[in-house]
Structure 1
Amino acid sequence: MNTLRIHKAGTLSGHQNPIFTVENGATASTVYTGGNDKGVVEWNLEKMAFERIIYPVQFSVYALHLLSGTPLLAVGTRDGMGRIVHTETRELIAKLEHHRRPVFSIKSFKTKPELILASEDGTVSVWNTHTFSLLYHFKVSDQTVRTIAISSDENWVAFGAKDGKVKLYSALDYSFIEELPAHTLPITSLCFSPDGRYLLTGGRDAKLNILNTADFSIVSTFTPHLFTVYAIKYHPFLPVFATASRDKSIKIWSADDFRLLRVISLERGFDSHRLSVNDIAWNTYKNQLISVGDDKQAIVWDITN
């Protein structure tokens, strides 16, 4: 992995305001983005171009999540609404009306028909993905719940809260397991490793914690960025993961020993983001990483070894 090669494949321009979230599409060569403007956008990675507006919105989009094995996209917005949009017909399938504050994170399971929304109101709602009826809702924190991670075996659900703590729940019945002190400032990103051995947490304190899921003890803690760690994403098959930050950089790390492999930033000679990098997504179409940020750009990176 010391020979990791990075090349900028292209820039997807069209958003008029900061982009907050990016999600892989229903087809391999498609990605969706949303942010502080009037629509969820579909991009074509084969043409490296704008494809269409999937769904118009009146409020900022903070979360996008494609339901596994379906053409259905869940959209979380500033008004507290969750919307289910059919990505082929652009039809609004359902409104998930429960939260009164912004929805910041959305995740679903592969083994059961359930969708989880987390909100600034400190609560979580769970919805049936067949009927889109509300199944459960419960309070996780007195403050914002910013991020959700589901373990690869789908036994655990972790929530990252504004109080700097990880709240760990059983994915079977949503019973509370334990609270894990993690950061001195709000948690802004969570990710389980694909092999299930680790839970990675990133925060506004610019720290990255690596927890052993055998007992959720901290294996390592370090400062990967100068400012907030907004995203942590593992590569689908290479033993690496990427982090994105408010410090305008993306960093690629070894999944085996957590060594820093490459830095993507203006300072390192890349034609990269000029403002905060808010989210990233690995896409398997051409083994690419897509990053989005406050500079209104979505950038596509070829990353190979």
Structure 2
Amino acid sequence: MTVAGQRLDKALADVVPDLSRARIQTLIAEGAVSRDGAVLTNGSSKAAVGTYAIALPPVASATPLPQAIPLTVLFEDADLIVIEKPPGMAAHPAPGTADGTLVNALLYHCGASLSGIGGVARPGIVHRLDKDTSGVMVAAKSDRAHAGLSKLFAAHDIERTYIALTRGAPSPERGRIETQIGRSSSDRKKMAVLKAGGRNAVTDYIVQARYGVPAKAGTAPLAARVACTLHTGRTHQIRVHLASKGSPILGDAVYGSGSPAGAVKASIAEAGLTRQALHAAVLGFVHPVTGDALRFETALPPDMQTLETLLAAL
């Protein structure tokens, strides 16, 4: 097959049919393609005569491996484990996050006792928190607990309260947000409130504190502490709902359109907050095996505590 003179990425895809053109483009961008020992960086350049080499990275294991990652365990028995997930930890492996996840930590901590209903990639996982959201999570160690917890979450028979630090404050000071949430038509990586389609999403909220309150009556505060109770569990539900009320969560790079006031922005920087200021503070449910009523409540993590202290001083 004569490929000299053709566009490089297309030529290589023709010669190596096991690799797609898109895959070839990625490998070129990663510096994994060379000709006669010289690394190639432009997939749109013309292919020339020579000896080409493609360095394929090792195939990642589809099965997560145990990792000795410290866990803050709030409760554990033979059927389930309740932990406080720190910010920055993904619930399970996904593209771009191969390890260092809660699943890797649970596999090390629980060993073979972890429920396998969730599949090899998500053993024990019955619900998730966003990677940069901290707070209480429960995982199943037995299949009967997994099935029981899944039914509770599907029926929304779970107490879940989150604390958010927001730009401004939603109005009125307490209320219910009920909308349809689905994929944004303009950005498929984001969720959005939809006029039609999507799935029903219900959040109750109450403004617990207002920070940087202007002297002029009726003027919105610079920031607020808002408690949100979930009645459904849609992807990014609280983040989307608070943003729809004009009070996005501080530090939310996805849904926090607009910039907070200068004093709030300075407080975020001083607190070292590099994520959305959202914490799953309360998780309550009936133990699916023993029938015991369980309820767990945790304080804000250090970054949110520091930010709240600074906001309260505005």
TM-score under structure 2 length normalisation: 0.28
- When Rg is computed on C-alpha atoms for both structures, the one with the higher figure is 2
TM-score under structure 1 length normalisation: 0.28
Which structure's residues are more often strand, by fraction?
A: 1
